Structure 1
Amino acid sequence: MPKQDLREAAEDFARQLEREHGVRSRWQGDTVQIKGAGVDGRLSIEDGVVDVSVSLGLLASAFKGMLKAEVQRYLDEHVS
């Protein structure tokens, strides 16, 4: 998938997270930082690879499986 298409998919995902979960996102180069209540993460695009890293606070960790499944579902649908 072209880098620009990956970037657009990541931007859409960040906006979706802002809308649905009230997190904040900030782009720096090809990396978006996501911060919210109990969630601190980043998504980066480099050489056609999308890397997602998320740290969850105590309360948010109860939803780890659901959050992981949602990220994977979004990537499966929008990144090929």
Structure 2
Amino acid sequence: MPKEQLREAAEGLARQLERQHGVRSSWEGDCVRIKGAGVDGELSFAGGVVDVSVRLGLLASPFKGMLQAEVQRYLDEHVS
């Protein structure tokens, strides 16, 4: 998948997480950082590899499965 399409998919995921979970996102090169109440993570796509890393605080940890499934579903639909 071309880098431009990967970036568009990452931007869409960041917007979705902002709307649904109130997190903020910011770009640093090919990496989007996600930050919110009890959530700190990043999604990068350097070299054609998509890497998602999220750290959840104690209060957000019960939502781990839901967030993981949501991110996986989005990537499955938008990254081929």
Q: What is the TM-score with the length of structure 2 in the denominator? A: 0.97
Shift of 1:59: 1.1
Percent identity between matched residues is 80
For residue 76 of structure 1, what is the amino acid of its counterpart? D
State the 4+ residue runs in structure 1 displaced beyond 6 angstroms. Answer: none
Shift of 1:47: 0.9
Cα RMSD of the aligned pairs, angstroms, is 0.6
Q: What is the TM-score with the length of structure 1 in the denominator? A: 0.97
Gaps of 5+ in 2: none
**Residue-pair matches, total:** 80
Gaps of 5+ in 1: none
Structure 2 equivalent of residue 30 of structure 1: 30
Structure 2 equivalent of residue 70 of structure 1: 70
**What SS does structure 1 have at the residue aligned with 2:33?**
strand
Structure 2 equivalent of residue 48 of structure 1: 48
